[in-house]
Amino acid sequence: TDLDKIRNFSIVAHIDHGKSTLADRLIQETGTVALRDMQAQMLDSMDIERERGITIKANTVRINYKADDGFDYVLNLIDTPGHVDFAYEVSRSMRAVEGSLLVVDASQGVEAQTLANVYHALDADHEIVPILNKIDLPAADCDRVAEQIEDVIGIDASGAIQVSAKTGQGIHETLEAIVTRLPAPKGDRSAPLKAMLVDSWYDAYLGVIVLVRIIDGVLKKGDKIRMMQNGSVHPVDRIGVFKPGMIMIDELGPGEIGFLTASIKQVRDTRVGDTITHEKGGCTQALPGFKPAQPVVFCGLFPVDAAEFEDLRDSIEKLALNDASFSYEMETSAALGFGFRCGFLGLLHLEVIRDRIEREYDIDLITTAPSVIYHILMKDGTDQELHNPADMPDLTYVEHIKEPRIKATILVPDEYLGDVLKLCQDRRGVQLDLTYAGSRAMVVYDLPLNEVVFDFYDRLKSVTKGYASFDYQMIGYQEDFLVKMTVLVNEEPVDALSTMVHRDRAEQRGRAMVEKLKDLIPRHMFKIPIQAAIGGRVVARETLSAMRKDVTAKCYGGDMTRKKKLLEKQKKGKKKMRQFGKVEIPQQAFINALKMD
Ligand code: GTP
């Protein structure tokens, strides 16, 4: 295809503003997929994505469009995830296209992720076409929202297109705007091959699939390609495009987006952002590299049933093959047995992986409290990364502890502003900015990530009745008074319940934890102290009083079979218990104690 007949674009939007519905419409309007083959939300391929209505993996589709000027165009849409955890995926796929449709729900207005995502698009020098979606809704207010786009984002919204992705109104105008307002890609067909590795994933039939954007040169079937980062060479088996099903073709030229397979063993062997060239006569200058996404939230995953450990290992290995941003290593806990310490891009990423293990592999899991990465500066001058509170070194060797902090942007209707400020303040936040856009306030806070992974989203949702939107970016590490809080049951530390907390919040957290545990641990024949401690100092304590538990008491002697049955039953119950010194703690107690409410 001639470069001037190609348009590459992405759609940026806040969650639920209609990105996927609009993409479906564009696909449908151009006849890319026969109507009968359309599934709701064509682009969201994974079950969990469909169920939760969120897009996780970047997807792409090639659309053929005959424009009003009479020419045939090829439009390549790269779909990007809308959620904050996947900001990295958004920013990298943006580099593969020249323009963006900025979709804003005309009945809602600009939200936190609209901002975060549009900044990625502006960073990538995109031409941006604002789309006011959902104009079929009575609450839609195009003038107000267009004004808001200009005020808050600072781009011209006078040419915003009014669309209803639901009824199809404005879809033709949108296609025309893609052709007339977005720039064509640039590239040199005769130059050595230079392609950007945009994404890669594992396909059960074809193996590793690599999504590429050709910058210069031509990629053909049978070519030997070289990954510039590690120098590995692979013969190309297949080349194709998504329409949105896979269509095999023979070559991809400059400006085009498509996929290749090259008997690459695992996704981990492909580095997103890498430059792909020919083995012989390739380009010498690689594209500016990308930093791989780093996990920021860690937690332990343990099987409820210890016998399922191998199955868990299997499922985690399989998931990791397809998701390089997810890390894991084996972990042993006295309380929970064998499991894995896993690293995620954020809480949603954690939830998605956990759900997939539970659902697709049918394994019940215990998830320990999420934790962030701390830097421990030791007295001997070394700097240790702490991923698991259980590994916290002895304080006598520690100089100080640094924790990650984030810049959080929250958009919220006026009436909830007070509650949001209070929440941020309670979470050790430092206010950076407070501005108004219409009847919404935009608050910017510097917050410790540790306080956000705990239960911040849920609290924010509940104090604002779901009307606030939230987005964040990491800003760096800062020293603070952090301590490891240990939970002791009958004087024995329970490793799985250790957490890192700020000294000023330790009492409060400790109290909540021991009170919860007191209700969760069954009584024993003896008194059981339950304590939260920092080093040797107990900050909260409850005592579970003793009870004489005689299950056969009500059987009035005589009936032996009934007595036996009861004892049998009691034995079975024991299996679901974890032994802690002399104390038995039901599995469920860990699950509930770790629940963040
Ligand atoms: P994520 O994939 O989570 O980022 O969401 P999204 O932005 O792709 O939103 P999606 O397309 O899933 O739409 C969210 C909801 O809005 C769905 O229930 C759609 O049916 C609805 N919706 C989308 N466009 C329109 C529209 O033009 N009018 C109306 N009334 N509803 C719409």
User: Annotated binding residues for GTP, as ranges?
Assistant: 16-21, 133-136
Measured in Å, residue 105 CA sits from the centre of ligand 1 at 9
- Could you give the CA distance from residue 559 to residue 552 in angstroms, rounded to a whole number? 10
CA distance linking residue 32 with residue 64, whole number of Å = 7
**What is the pLDDT, as a whole number, of residue 594?**
64
Low-confidence ranges of the chain (pLDDT < 50): 34-36, 38, 40-42, 44, 48-58, 555, 573-575, 597
Which residue among 12, 19, 21, 111 has the greatest number of ligand 1 atoms within 8 angstroms of its CB, and so is best to mutate? 21
Percent helix, strand and coil across the chain, each rounded to 5? 30, 35, 35
Q: Residue holding tokens 């190609």? A: 6
Give the pLDDT score at 223: 95
pLDDT of residue 235: 95
- What mean pLDDT is reported for the chain? 84
pLDDT of residue 465: 80
Ligand 1 centroid to Cα of residue 18, in Å, is: 3
C-alpha pair distances (Å), 421 with each of 96, 111, 434 = 38, 18, 10
Residue 349 CA, ligand 1 centroid: distance in Å:
21
Tokens 């495009």 locate to 241
Residues with CB under 6 A from ligand 1: 13, 15-21, 53-55, 82, 133-134, 136-137, 164-166
User: Sign of the CA dihedral 184, 187, 193, 199?
Assistant: negative
| Other residues' Cβ atoms within 10 Å of the Cβ of residue 38 | 13
Q: Which residue's C-alpha comes closest to atom 5 of ligand 1?
A: 16
Q: What distance in angstroms lies between residue 580's CA and the mean position of ligand 1's atoms?
A: 50
- Summarize the annotated binding site as residue ranges: 16-21, 133-136
pLDDT value of residue 533: 93
pLDDT of 33 reads 58
The CA–CA distances, whole Å, from 140 to 149, 163, 164, 173, 328 equal: 14, 11, 10, 19, 46
Q: How far is the CA of 338 from the centre of ligand 1 (A)?
A: 42
Count of alpha carbons within 13 angstroms of residue 178, beta-carbon side = 29
Q: Counting atoms of ligand 1 from 1, which one is nearest the CA of 164? A: 27
The H or E element containing residue 103 is strand 99-105
ipTM: 0.97
pLDDT at 448: 94
Q: Which of ligand 1's atoms lies nearest the C-alpha of 53? A: 3
pLDDT for the residue 502: 92
Give the list of residues 6+ apart from residue 595 with CB closer than 8 angstroms, or none. Answer: none
User: What pLDDT does 294 receive?
Assistant: 75
Q: Which residues of 169-201 are buried (b: 16+ CB within 10 A; e: fewer)?
A: ebbeebbebbbeebebbebeeeeebbbbbbbbb
Closest ligand 1 atom, CA of 54? 3
404 - beta bridge partners? Answer: 477
Please report the pLDDT score of residue 234 as a whole number: 94
Please tell me the predicted confidence (pLDDT) of residue 282: 87
Closest atom of ligand 1 relative to the 15 alpha carbon: 4
Residue 40 CB contacts under 8 Å (≥ 6 apart), including other chains: 24, 50
Torsion of CA 21, 27, 28, 34, to 10 degrees: -130
Look at ligand 1, atom 14, and give the residue with the nearest C-alpha: 16
Query: Using an 8 Å Cβ cutoff, are 209 and 261 in contact?
Result: yes
| φ/ψ bin of 30: left (φ > 0), alpha (ψ from -120 to 50), beta (otherwise) | alpha
How many CB atoms are closer than 10 A to CB 101?
28
Confidence (pLDDT) at 194: 96
Cα of 19 from ligand 1 centre, angstroms: 6
Cα–Cα dist 272/227, whole Å: 11
Tell how many helices (H) and how many strands (E) occur in the chain.
13, 34
